[in-house]
Structure 1
Amino acid sequence: MIGSFGSRTRPLRQARRLFLGRRPPSPLAILLGRRHGGFVLFLLAAFAAAIIFTDSPPPAPALHYAISVYDGDTIRLGQERIRIVGLDTPELGHRAECEFEALAAERAKQALIGEIARGNVELQRQGTDRYGRTLARVTVDGRDVADTLIAQGLARPYGGGRRESWCS
């Protein structure tokens, strides 16, 4: 008779007979079992190995959150002072020789702040200068910051040595 009390308990009785006198298998035993457990364990190990031994490099940290701009050609990354290689910008404040240089320095600083805030910043360190600053090429999303500021007329190309005056 279908739907009777006896027919509903048959699967339960069969399950009890299977484990009569034995404990049910643990989840680990199921994974290591003879039927499909070995294959499942192999898949888990292969997946873990693929995650651990992937060739992709870790993502580069977004440096623009930690960078502060000192002037148009000098930035700070924490306590490290970094002189941007390849450009010279006017001097700020009391170091400016004339009013034009002071105004141009502020424009260059604001432009550098905008460039750094625009994207992912990368530094290629190249040593130190006589003031102890790190010399580095700075790029934002692959574009050289020195080339950008020079193209905007806010900086001059600079390869070291004596600077030209911004006031003449």
Structure 2
Amino acid sequence: MIQTRTSAALLAPALVAAALAACSPREEARTSSRTDVALNDVQATQGDALMINGKHVRLANAEAPLRTPYARCWAESIAGREARKRAADLATAANEIDIQSTGKTDEYGRTIAKVLLDGLDLGDSLVQDGYAVRPGAEPFDWCAPVSTNIENAPNINALSDLGR
């Protein structure tokens, strides 16, 4: 009688390969240069606020518009959504994060800090790209008509004013 290899014997090399693959080093989490932060744990909650490893961080050098339900008008809500999306996109694309705390917290208990993504300041990037403004003594009015700064421009207070 001629013996043939059993199916278990045929599967052995595949099982060994699978076991070795499971033991091989996995892709390491992207981490910060200064703190032990896995960038997989970074979430933009607002355009100027992030949750990093469960800690709330507010950007020290940028003020972004708020999203619904905190926005005071539709324009601020839309701008706030876009600012949060931009901050999230920049954080997702980064390989390294550096959090430089000012040692202060805001009225909600968030750490106020500069956040560097791959060496680029997130707050500076948001301001330069038009998603945020620099914090100032007088808060920026995201709901004010844009036309007030342009000589002889029509007053646009609502979306319906654009059709005139």
TM-score by length of 1: 0.60
The correspondence for 2:97, drawn from 114, 118, 121, is 121
Whether 1:147 aligns to 2:121 is no
In structure 2, give the amino acid aligned to 1:154: Y
- Number of positions where the alignment pairs a residue of Structure 1 with one of Structure 2: 110
Match of 1:72 in 2: 47
* Distance in 2, Cα, partners of 1:125 & 1:78: 15
The correspondence for 1:131, drawn from 97, 108, 116, is 108
* Distance in 2, Cα, partners of 1:105 & 1:157: 15
* Distance in 2, Cα, partners of 1:130 & 1:117: 27
Residue-by-residue CA offset, 1:89-126 (whole Å, 9 max, x unaligned): 01110211111111110110010011111111110111
C-alpha change, 1:165 and 1:62, in structure 2 (3 Å) is same
Q: Could you tell which deviates more after superposition, 94-103 or 59-68?
A: 59-68
Percent of aligned pairs with the same amino acid: 25
Q: Could you tell which deviates more after superposition, 139-148 or 126-135?
A: 126-135
- 3-state SS, counterpart of residue 82 of structure 1: strand
* Distance in 2, Cα, partners of 1:165 & 1:59: 36
In structure 1, give the amino acid aligned to 2:44: V
Q: Alignment RMSD, CA only?
A: 1.9
* Distance in 1, Cα, partners of 2:86 & 2:38: 17
Unaligned stretches of 5+ in structure 2? Answer: 1-31, 145-164
**Residue 77 of structure 1, CA deviation:** 1.7
Match of 2:76 in 1: 101
* Distance in 1, Cα, partners of 2:92 & 2:126: 14
* Distance in 2, Cα, partners of 1:80 & 1:67: 9
**Residue 59 of structure 1, CA deviation:** 6.1
TM-score by length of 2: 0.62
Unaligned stretches of 5+ in structure 1? Answer: 1-57
- Structure having the higher helix fraction is 1
**Residue 164 of structure 1, CA deviation:** 1.7
C-alpha change, 1:118 and 1:62, in structure 2 (3 Å) is farther
1:75-90 to structure 2, matched below 5 A, reads: 75-90=50-65
